């Protein structure tokens, strides 16, 4: 029970720290551009790496704290749902040259370029991969949990 | 896999939540094991065996063994 409480406290504190970090970054946010990324790119990259490392640590502690059925649900969801999401991403990657003949990527990615600058199209691609993986994972996790609980 | 968890639990008048607390897992996990939707890990199976004072094979058995016994 003490371990569970420690885990909850750690996760709550870490999430609060991430929230405050986000709030801090938000203060440097200028209009629809990541101003700090342009003013101090090295600091921005270091900050981002730090946020990812903290998120990974939170995930690790949290995962060790949940019981084995919950862990199993996440393993299965990452394996099957994540793989499914990855297949969608690979399909989009391989089919992109043909899709470009049917759809104008320039127009499609224009909002991303407008919002995020030169890095916009690359960020949109990364975001597509993250969304596909997360969707596959989330759907698989939900189905597994509803079936097993 | 099938198991006698429901019977063993009933003998002690424990709810699923009681058993979950003894094992340090969630009630959902106990329910999933009981209804045969989830096979527990070996450490959890040993924990169950120790808790009920019975060998693992007296608690868990294969579907085919259950059919043969019937």
Q: How high is the ipTM of this complex? A: 0.79
CA A144 – CA B12 distance, rounded (Å): 31
User: What are the DSSP calls for A47-85, one per residue?
Assistant: HHHHHHHHHHHHHHHHHHHS-HHHHHHHHHIIIIIHHHH
Whole-number pLDDT of residue A1: 47
B26 neighbourhood in chain A, CB within 8 Å:
67, 69-70
Contact: B24, A147; criterion CB under 8 Å: no
Q: Which two tokens stand for residue A115?
A: 């919002």
pTM greater than the 0.90 cutoff: no
Q: Please work out, in degrees rounded to the nearest 5, the angle formed at the alpha carbon of residue A82 by the alpha carbons of A79 and A87.
A: 115
B15–A contact, CB cutoff 8 A: no
The length of chain B, given as a count of residues: 70
C-alpha span between A22 and A24 (Å, rounded) = 5
Could you tell me if B24 lies within 8 Å of chain A, comparing CB atoms?
A: yes
As to burial, measured by CB atoms within 10 angstroms (0-12 exposed, 13-18 middle, 19+ buried), residue A125 is middle
Closest alpha carbon within chain B to A149: B28
| Higher-confidence position of A23 and A68 | A68
Mutate to test the interface with A, among B19, B23, B29 (most CBs of A within 10 A): B29
In this predicted structure, the answer to whether residue A32 has a pLDDT above a threshold of 60 is no
Answer yes or no: do A72 and B26 touch at CB < 8 A: no
For residue range B19-65, list pLDDT tens digits in order: 999 999 999 999 999 999 999 999 999 999 999 999 999 999 987 76
């Amino acid at each position: 029970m003490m371990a569970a409480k420690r885990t909850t406290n750690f996760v709550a504190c870490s999430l609060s720290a991430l929230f405050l970090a986000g709030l801090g970054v938000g203060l440097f946010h200028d209009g629809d551009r990541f101003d700090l990324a342009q003013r101090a790119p090295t600091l921005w990259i270091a900050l981002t790496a730090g946020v990812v490392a903290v998120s990974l640590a939170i995930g690790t502690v949290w995962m060790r704290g949940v019981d084995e059925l919950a862990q199993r649900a996440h393993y299965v969801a990452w394996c099957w749902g994540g793989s499914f999401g990855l297949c969608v991403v690979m399909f989009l990657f391989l089919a992109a040259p043909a899709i470009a003949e049917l759809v104008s990527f320039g127009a499609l990615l224009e909002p991303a370029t407008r919002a995020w600058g030169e890095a916009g199209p690359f960020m949109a691609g990364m975001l597509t991969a993250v969304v596909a993986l997360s969707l596959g994972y989330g759907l698989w996790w939900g189905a597994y949990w509803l079936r097993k609980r | 896999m099938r198991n006698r968890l429901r019977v063993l639990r009933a003998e002690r008048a424990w709810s699923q939540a009681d058993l979950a607390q003894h094992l340090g897992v969630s009630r959902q996990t106990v329910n999933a094991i009981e209804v045969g939707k989830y096979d527990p890990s070996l450490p959890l199976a040993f924990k169950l065996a120790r808790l009920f004072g019975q060998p693992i094979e007296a608690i868990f058995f294969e579907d085919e063994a259950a059919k043969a016994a019937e």
